[in-house]
Structure 1
């Protein structure tokens, strides 16, 4: 029996996972990892078409993964979507709130809409999905994982809106962990540092060199390493962990 087909490796068989922001980057890596573990994954992005490649990759590893489209900041639409996912996939055991946007700029000149939109997607979006999915998650004694950022821990000039949204996710995580612990639901956050994405790949050589100097391990992280952390929290090793923020940053915040 190959490692990929072993019962231990596919420990999420029969589980349903919902991953927001699943079209690329960290969200796609998480969705693929959960599919590799045997879960049926509801891959959510702004439009279902944006998740077509992710769903194809997931269904190459398991069966029953589906793409969905929604604006995560719209409460009623999220509630309707969660109901549809529960009905179509047969329940909901895992929620990964990963959807996020940036609209960077110094606060002195930041338009109000740039602040509002980042908070609406990054923080309210997680609140919307957590509330809409709460009953099935309680029934399943499931897991919620919120993807925050080291910027939510340290702050960052030019990212007041983004930092506030990601710090808010950490507060949301702690509060939900306290509310849901009695129902057997573990709620945790992951705060990635610099991760290899389209944005970091486009840095000029000098900027990339300066970035690496700030990271003790001397490299940026990979989306797959964040997915592996999600994997750990969902497995037996995460059974007694709740309300925590795992900083995955190569030592950046030391």
Structure 2
């Protein structure tokens, strides 16, 4: 038998070649190579699905909040509403269980209009996005409602009878009437509001335009005062035949 000389002076390791062969085989083996890709894709799909679920829940809460806010501001902006606008809106949100989400309200009103605005914010706790550090989703709902009446006609009746000579009644009436007219005939109400002055003592001066349309006994041309028969006050509808000068 031929002798084999080992230069290292050590016995050969018979398991090294076998392990090298296993590593090479594993590296060259393509069986199951798509499993890793499939796992990654599944994780991505689950992640996107979870994000979608959280966003849908947030949008649901925002839509509920917006619907409640729209109803509330429409009721608050009603000119026939005798309650405070803030009270009306708070009642709507309390009835819906959303009172903690109402953040801001604003009111602007005048002689012929009322404008009410409100803002609320929904807070939705996430079920999936919290794993990425997003614990809540916030969505803002806001709206403005306005009711406005155009072409408001105001008749201001002023007493000029003899009793107004006592004290400063006449001067005070003039001051109050001037202040009222300047308030309602503001620049923002231009062409929207008209004021008619109706002075009266024992009779009412209807003015020539209305006077000429009535069935009256015309006695002189110094004024256009009209005296109403007592029976004229029995009904709300005016009867032309019961007027006399």
| TM-score greater than 0.5 by the shorter chain | no
Q: Larger % of helix: which?
A: 1
| TM-score for both structures, normalised by structure 1 | 0.25
Q: Which has the higher contact order (CA 8 A, sep 6+)?
A: 1
Q: Larger % of strand: which?
A: 2
| TM-score for both structures, normalised by structure 2 | 0.26
